[in-house]
Structure 1
Amino acid sequence: MDAVAERRGRSLNLRFDNAETLMPPNDAPPRYRWQRVVEYSDFSDWAAISRHFAPLFAQASSLAPGSSLRQEARRIAAAHSNPLDRARAALRLVQQEVRYIYVGLNGGNLTPATADETWQRRYGDCKGKTALLLALLAELGIEAEPVLANNAGADDGLDARLPNPMMFDHVLVRARINGTDYWLDGTLPPVAGPSADPVMPYRWFLPLRARGGSIQPLEWRPAERPDEVTLHEIDSRAGFDQPARITTTTIVRGIQGLQQQVQFSALTPAQLLNAFRQQGVGNTWQAIDDVQWRYDPAARASVLTISGTGTVDWQDDGNGARSLTLPGGGFSPPERRARSAEQNQDLPFYNEPGFACHVTTVRLPDSTHASHWSFNSGFDTRMFGRNHYRAFELRDGAIRMVRGSRIERRELEAAIVRRDNARIAAFDNTMALISYNPTRGRSDTAAGTRVPATYEIDWTADYVPCLSSIAAN
């Protein structure tokens, strides 16, 4: 850019003749997607933006002397003595009683409607809901501040940009309660209470303060709880040739879990059962008997359980032997990660964070003996910043399998990528296979590994044995 820039007084002229198209480096972090960008700003730094917008929210969250919101705050205070419970009740009021509608007219794209206006209208956008929540928290004596953030995921590299308020598309509240910072988002469904981590994976945020605040990073760390857990229970105790009792449970967290909450909470149990019968019968199930759904606020997860009967696809291996490929048990080999020759080969590579867990339990036919069953290998492999884990156990008449996949490094140095490219050929991508052979004894290779069945533990808990490091604790 410097090679073509002409500076004349207060003007800048950039002239390109037949400029080549620039392509962002393949597989690089999002901040490298910016190409040939000229930025300008009237703000000297991020603190100037903070100082500029803080008074707007301070004014919007100031209540009129006769505001009915004061009565709402008194009601919350009378019902709850703990500050965190009070904050949770105030947040739920904003989420549940005020519909989300974007307000962008007459300067409303940046200026919040007042708390009283939003409460009277019973609708508001993130700005109005934030002002309303700030007003309630102030009445309850809870320290809180508005925070600008980017919900679109476009905040990687924000610290290298010129200060620009349009880099943010969302505002929410950060409160200090009992010595801990909590995030409160009035635009989320009412099951999303105060949390130590925001629901959205922000990299940077800007607190709005009268004296100014600088952008602050949010430290990234590998997820401690799976974003999604899928449980399969196949009850074949009646025999190989009989329909099995099949139960599947999915536990979904984060924004996808909240989307399920919005979708499923609008349905009656009968409607939910009918919908899954129409979609599911003929695939896994011959019949679906029951569908249960709930949102668990403590686990911050949507929990869906479907149960019924179905035919298990046992492979006939001859002479009474059978085998079965377990659902959710295999890994596809990683793809080779590389860039074209004209791109920078030394830039880091990017992993989209995620943590998924599959658990399958097969209750074995009562007519068989445990010594005639076996299963293939487990493994614990790290490649391209991802942990691939699988373990089996045969116990109490059931084979249990757990398979976990977690991103442990969001960015990878090019040298690590080159090393792991050379390891792809050796990656174990075998499917999870269990086998029954009445003519030979058991020959598993995972002695000592403890794998709980789908029905033995609470899989919505904070720590579930989906990885070797967690299984060992």
Structure 2
Amino acid sequence: MHDIKIRGRYQVKLHELLCATAVVAVCASPAYAGEEVIYEAAPAWVEPVDFDAALAKDEMLVLFDRQVRMEDGVVHDYLDIAYKIETPQALTQLGTVQVPWLPDKGDLFVHNLEIVRDGEVIDLLANGGDFDVLRREQQLESRSLDGMLTATMAIPGLRVGDVLRMRRSTTTRDQALNGEMQVLQGVFAEPAELGFGRMVVTWPEGTAMRYQVTRDVALAEPETVDGYRRLAIEFPVDELDEMPGDAPARYQQASLLQVGTYRSWEEVSAKMAPHFSTEGSITPGGDVAREVASIEAQTDVPLERAALALQVVQDRIAYLLNGLDGGNYLPQQPEQTWELRYGDCKAKSMLLLAMLREMGIKSEAVLVRSQAGDWVREMLPMPGDFDHMIVHATIDGEDYWLDGTNAGIRLSTIGEVPRFFYALPLREGGAELVRMDQRWQDTPDRATRVSIDQSAGFDYPALFDIDVKVQGAMAARFQNIDDTTEEDEITAFASQYASDIVGDNIVFQADIEYDEDTGIARVIAKGLTSTWWDIDRNSATLTPYTSSNGMTFSPDRARREWRDIPYQVGGPLRLTEQVEIRLPEGNADYVLRGTDADAQMVGGSRITRTATLDGNMLRVRSDKAEIPVEIPADEFAVNRRAANKLKSGDYKVRANEGVTRYWEYSPEEVAKRMEGIEDALDQYVALDPDDADRLSLRAGMIGTYTYDYEAAARDLTRAIDEKPSAELYAVRAQTYANAGEWERALDDALYAYDLQGDFAMAAQLADIQAKNGDVEGALALLEEFDLGGDDRVAQAQLRAELEGSAGRADDGFAMIEQILTERPGDAQLLNAKCWHMGTWRYKLDEAEAVCSEAVQTSSYDASVLDSRAMAYYRLGEFDKALKDIDAALSKEPNMAASRYLKGVILSEQGRKKEGREEIAYAKRLAPQVVRQYALYGIEQPE
């Protein structure tokens, strides 16, 4: 069901409220006491509630009254719950009431079901209304057969505004608990809002009972009433203190009320242990015995035998929670599990335990909590504290924690300690909680080899090869990728996987392997990734990938009350990388900066790394490991300093000279440098030749880096044939314009505008119309739009430029001035005003002052410097113009307009060779620049 918000921020699920008797169970299992719903009055011990007072508070959750009597090994659980139907959503969710129960443990009693409407009570059971009983395995998709029955009834005539109230009880005697009892209840805390809420637990006065509420919630001492001890708590309690997200999980758990008869962990252990005895569970000569013999024949090393037994249980026994044979705590027997080839955590653990003991390996079943396991030591001892079972083996004096429900664990990874923190061994004489001490992993979860070929140039995409070995639990997800998987699916998976290592990428060749014997998966891929260089003016910096880059340690302890809360480290996890990067060939002078580390401890991580630079070959090695330990608050400062020092020493390669940009290469040089990249793009497209996205991606790269606009247009045409869109037509229009095919460009721009019809498409169409000589048509098109905000500014700029092209500079200038009166000092408009004055020689005597104001207002933005350079050029101030252009290009070196104007000025100064060079750069960056400047009356020099 969907979540419903009870005014405030507290989220609950409706079915959890209706079925609020929650007992946590070990991976959760005939003596079926009650398969029919019993209709009778509430037990005499149930305390009344003032329903009218609760209703008067006008809350969505009108009433939550849970009362539990614990006596003679039976937990009798009563719930009175009422919910106001305030929304159609709630009406849909509560239109059918569903109440589950486990018939092998007890009965379901329905005391009443009613609608309260405008003070009238409608009894839904009075006229023979009964629940239907369904046996439905609602969690089958999560591999769970729990044997639960569900009583269900569609509520007739329920309306928005009604209050639906139900009172019901269940009885539970768990076969596995041998008369012991336990109750757990999550505590409602503010800002949850409800009309009335409480939890009452009673038990005979002479019964030894333990109780507590976690998270320091106040709990009154029980009182004695009519021979029973009575423990009560009303909801909501005061809002719990907020905790930092990086604190250990126990600090962040919701408050929990626990009541139970267990006196100690030893008692829980001793009373559960008999259910997990393996004596006589393997029949001599039977199937399991033969499997054990097969393992023993392969090796006489105990650890190797344990690893093989674990592999059998993990890989050959499917997971299925089977709750049909006695409850949440009673396990399937090993030979039954082997025959069925499925089982839950208890069944898998029992089978593994039996096999290990048969081989003489010291081992025992242990209970663990799979989430927030560090919380267990603060809870009252009871089986309900745990939700999982694994096997603890001791081999050559070492502890091994073996999880049969995991996957992919082999000899090389068997020593990894799961993130469960504490375990309760089940022993005949009882046992205390055992801390699952962590240890550093001998083998990495992921070992990565990366080869990056950036030799083509600083701007060009880089070819890459990756070879990633994954083992342990991390490798298990690769088991389902087999020879039947399509090639494009494999490359897509590899690309997604590689994104964490190389960033944005495409993969054109990939192979994924999984070795059942070693549990090692490999991802081998070739592809293209974006340049790793960060280019700033005439220098460039490359930061090679390693998992230790950017190390930080900054626990959130802003609040004083948090200052003593420890920090929880992640893991267990170990990552290693070997990175090789071939740097751009040419005249660049490379310098490597960074700090090596040798098993340095930083924020709970152990870091080892080295780097070398040999000519234009960079090699980096990195090893980062972490285990889930806690760092106490008094060690924060030293870890913070260590992290800052390591981060400041992250490896970087810097090129201060010889940074050649892609537009500076001649067409012949480009062809040579792009050869491998083009081949990679061809292979990528060949994987799915009809995929529009692949075709358009290749078109973009070919057009940008090789200037082969005809080839780019062919790809775009194929893409349009497969998946036409306004965007693709617009891209092809620009491609045709770059190729000088203006009629085709106009045709595509018109069609893109017809398809989408927005201002962006109109602006492109108007630009192409103007360059085709139809300035009046372009103006008419733009005048159709009535825009506001920044779009209105952009519209005015375009129209002003077109008016100038039509010889009406006065009209264009007036448009800019009009909007400037509405947005005085606007940097964008001041730039437009400066540009207009320069391009159309309009009021040139005032231009320098206007342009200088624009430059200062924009904080010397490159595009505004370019506009002032145009004004200086028109004024004949060539040196000033060149100074502004150089300043602009130092900020944005790929500005085609600036380079073109620089080339014009240099040519007019007689520096024709330099001028031709700059014009060539400009035309490579934006081929339309020549036609654009011709509109301003600035022709390309001879």
TM-score (norm 2): 0.40
- Is residue 49 of structure 1 aligned with residue 265 of structure 2? no
Which of residues 227, 232, 239 in structure 1 aligns to 2:450?
A: 232
Shift in Å, 1:112: 0.6
Counterpart mapping for 1:20-59 below 5 A: 20-26=238-244, 27-34=246-253, 36-58=255-277
Contact 1:183 1:195 in 2 (8 A): no
Shift in Å, 1:303: 3.6
Structure 2: gaps of 5 or more residues: 1-216, 660-942
Change (3 A) 1:275 1:143: same
Which of residues 505, 511, 514 in structure 2 aligns to 1:291?
A: 511
In structure 1, what is the Cα distance between the partners aligned to 2:645 and 2:310? 51
- Is residue 131 of structure 1 aligned with residue 347 of structure 2? no
Change (3 A) 1:359 1:25: same
The structure with the greater share of residues assigned to helix is 2
Secondary structure in structure 2 of the residue aligned to 1:5: coil
Change (3 A) 1:200 1:267: farther
Shift in Å, 1:207: 1.6
Change (3 A) 1:144 1:267: farther
Letter in 2 for 1:261: F
In structure 2, what is the Cα distance between the partners aligned to 1:392 and 1:221? 27
Secondary structure in structure 1 of the residue aligned to 2:258: coil
Which of residues 188, 196, 210 in structure 1 aligns to 2:428?
A: 210
Letter in 2 for 1:289: Q
Match of 1:158 in 2: 376
Contact 2:570 2:628 in 1 (8 A): no
- Is residue 393 of structure 1 aligned with residue 609 of structure 2? no
Letter in 2 for 1:121: L
Letter in 2 for 1:187: T
Counterpart mapping for 1:73-88 below 5 A: 73-88=292-307
Shift in Å, 1:244: 4.2
Letter in 1 for 2:223: R
Which of residues 149, 154, 171 in structure 1 aligns to 2:368?
A: 149
Match of 2:717 in 1: none
Shift in Å, 1:211: 1.8
**What are the Cα deviations for residues 200-236 of structure 1, in whole angstroms up to 9, with x where unaligned?**
2221112222122221112235666655455432123
Match of 2:478 in 1: 261
Shift in Å, 1:135: 2.5
Contact 1:236 1:244 in 2 (8 A): yes
In structure 2, what is the Cα distance between the partners aligned to 1:13 and 1:189? 45
Contact 2:402 2:414 in 1 (8 A): no
Counterpart mapping for 1:4-23 below 5 A: 4-8=220-224, 10-16=228-234, 19-23=237-241
Shift in Å, 1:79: 3.9
Contact 2:332 2:347 in 1 (8 A): yes
TM-score (norm 1): 0.74
Shift in Å, 1:113: 0.9
Counterpart mapping for 1:270-349 below 5 A: 270=487, 273-276=490-493, 284-285=504-505, 288-294=508-514, 302-309=521-528, 312=531, 314=533, 322-328=540-546, 330-331=549-550, 335=554, 337-340=556-559, 343-349=561-567
Letter in 1 for 2:438: W
Structure 1: gaps of 5 or more residues: 441-473
Match of 1:175 in 2: 393
Between stretches 177-186 and 385-394, larger displacement belongs to: 385-394
Change (3 A) 1:324 1:93: closer
Letter in 2 for 1:144: S
Contact 1:384 1:416 in 2 (8 A): no
Change (3 A) 1:414 1:213: closer
Match of 2:288 in 1: 69
**What are the Cα deviations for residues 100-157 of structure 1, in whole angstroms up to 9, with x where unaligned?**
11111232421011112111212111111222222323333333221222222x2214
In structure 2, what is the Cα distance between the partners aligned to 1:110 and 1:420? 44
Shift in Å, 1:55: 1.6
Letter in 2 for 1:173: V
Aligned length: 433
Contact 1:254 1:301 in 2 (8 A): yes
Shift in Å, 1:66: 6.4
Change (3 A) 1:409 1:124: closer
Contact 1:61 1:131 in 2 (8 A): no
What value does the CA root-mean-square deviation take over the aligned residues? 4.2
In structure 2, what is the Cα distance between the partners aligned to 1:404 and 1:251? 14
Secondary structure in structure 2 of the residue aligned to 1:112: coil
Q: Which of the two has higher C-alpha Rg?
A: 2
Between stretches 61-70 and 222-231, larger displacement belongs to: 222-231
Contact 2:552 2:640 in 1 (8 A): no
In structure 1, what is the Cα distance between the partners aligned to 2:605 and 2:292? 47
Identical positions, percent: 26
Contact 1:24 1:34 in 2 (8 A): no
Between stretches 101-110 and 88-97, larger displacement belongs to: 88-97
Which of residues 421, 424, 435 in structure 1 aligns to 2:654?
A: 435
Secondary structure in structure 2 of the residue aligned to 1:206: strand
Which of residues 570, 594, 600 in structure 2 aligns to 1:352?
A: 570
**What are the Cα deviations for residues 48-104 of structure 1, in whole angstroms up to 9, with x where unaligned?**
222222221215862346633223333333343333333333333323332111111
Between stretches 373-382 and 37-46, larger displacement belongs to: 373-382
Match of 2:139 in 1: none
Change (3 A) 1:78 1:251: closer
Match of 2:310 in 1: 91
Shift in Å, 1:25: 2.6
**What are the Cα deviations for residues 387-406 of structure 1, in whole angstroms up to 9, with x where unaligned?**
77775421264113456665
